[in-house]
Amino acid sequence: MADKARLRRRYRAERRFRWYGISATILGLLFLGAILVSTVVLGHSAFRQTYIKLDIFFDPKILTPDGKTDPDTLRQANYPAVVKFSLREMFPSVTKRNEQRQLFSLVSLGASDSLREQITANPALIGSRDSLWLLASDDVDQFIKGKIRPNAPENERQLNDLQMQWVHEIVARGLTNLRFNAAFFTNGDSREPEIAGILGAAKGSFYTLLVTLVLSFPIGIMAALYLQEFAPKNRITDMIEVNISNLAAVPSIVFGLLGLAVFLNFFGLPRSAPLVGGIVLALMTLPTIIIAARAAIMAVPPSIREAALAIGASPMQTALHHVVPLASPGMMTGAILGMARALGESAPLLMIGMVAFIADVPQGIMEPATVLPVQIYLWADSPEQAFVEKLAAGIMVLLTFLVMMNLLAVILRRRFEQKW
């Protein structure tokens, strides 16, 4: 009897144990799902942007008052006045200065930018008339997307009653349009949420990671190979080994401080450049890569080395022809995971000036740039409500890159992994 009771207890304990495991997994998945769903719910609307159709008259009296059409004059011409003129024609009853100002704020500053682009590309358009789809302001955009409650008290809305009335009229005339927001993928940062794009940060991340990869991958692999295959076992190598493990656990901001002190102040490298960011992140990812690479090299069976040496290969040939190719899936996985971590870092970049407003899209590793996580942080810090959807969309872009990198790591492991 006693042993049966004991057996039942053991079975129960077994079932409970499984349930703990299952509920832990489910809880984890729920959290992940909640984050993903809330990001997508918040951010999906950022991929569409509101446009307003305006009748634009490229009035030569406004644009080229002195008749000159050189590029400088054309670039600095008064495009906002052209937009304002068109809005005044649309609502001729609005005459008070204060009301006109409220009317003009329905159209984005980006509208003038797009007119500037058209005119500088084709000065012959001056004097012509055209109906153009131009960017609406962020507040109008939020309203069209249903993110401003129309029945809230007037002083709690970004659009006042008068502006709402105008927007309703524009919508009723069919002059608004929600379109795919291509500018989000082709623009750099901007203070205007409707113009702000992710390309500057994405390219900044690309250049930074390029520098990181070029530095940390070969150095990390060489260090791992030497330590694992050639280094004598003594006090010094033991010390190095312990220190590499310690370095892997150092908070990333410390690497940023190091970057500020050494690369900026001592070597005088430019602030905000992906080069410096890449070097700092390379220092940060090196321990990860070395540890992963050593584990991969260790997993290569000694019989392979012995076979190579037995038929006359030199130690270098043994390492390069046999050990490295067999260990490479593990090495690459480690490197990709290290890169994925570097992609998500923002703290070390704070000290070296990459947490900054940089509107131009960087064209190389020496040009000022910011990175994806920093861009998300900067948008989160901006007062305009419309940045909330941009930041969620930014998170989606960042997650896409991370998932792709992790997927690559999995594929590499699956394809090239050797079972012994």
Report how many residues bind other proteins under the rule CB under 8 A. Answer: 50
Rounded distance between C-alpha atoms, residue 412 and residue 71, angstroms: 52
Which residues inside 6-65 make contact with other proteins, applying CB under 8 A?
Answer: none
Question: Do the Cβ atoms of 195 and 113 come closer than 8 Å?
Answer: yes
Which residues inside 88-107 make contact with other proteins, applying CB under 8 A?
Answer: 101, 105
- 268 — phi, psi (to 5°)? 70, 30
With binding defined as CB under 8 A, does residue 152 bind other proteins?
Answer: yes
Residue range at the interface with other proteins (CB under 8 A); choices 10-18, 88-96, 263-271, 410-418: 263-271
Which residues inside 368-407 make contact with other proteins, applying CB under 8 A?
Answer: 368, 380-385
CB of 106 to other proteins, least distance (A): 13
With binding defined as CB under 8 A, does residue 145 bind other proteins?
Answer: no
Cβ atoms < 10 Å from Cβ of 21:
10
Alpha helices in 91-145 (DSSP H): 97-104, 109-121, 138-144
Nearer Cβ to other proteins (264/392): 264
What does the DSSP 8-state code read for residue 60? H
Nearer Cβ to other proteins (6/149): 149
With binding defined as CB under 8 A, does residue 253 bind other proteins?
Answer: no
Measure CA 55 to chain center: 37
CB of 138 to other proteins, least distance (A): 11
Nearer Cβ to other proteins (69/177): 69
Contact string 212-231 vs other proteins (x = CB under 8 A): ---x--xx--xx--------
Q: What is the largest CA-CA distance in the chain?
A: 108
Rounded distance between C-alpha atoms, residue 271 and residue 33, angstroms: 39
Structure tokens at 226: 């030497």
Strand partners, 57: 129
Whose CA is closest to 87, among 167, 183, 174, 181?
167
User: What is the H or E stretch that residue 207 is in?
Assistant: helix 199-225
With binding defined as CB under 8 A, does residue 147 bind other proteins?
Answer: no
Binding site for other proteins (CB under 8 A): 71-72, 75-76, 101, 105, 109, 113, 116, 149, 152, 155-158, 190-192, 215, 218-219, 222-223, 240, 263-264, 267-272, 275, 279, 286, 353, 355-360, 366, 368, 380-385
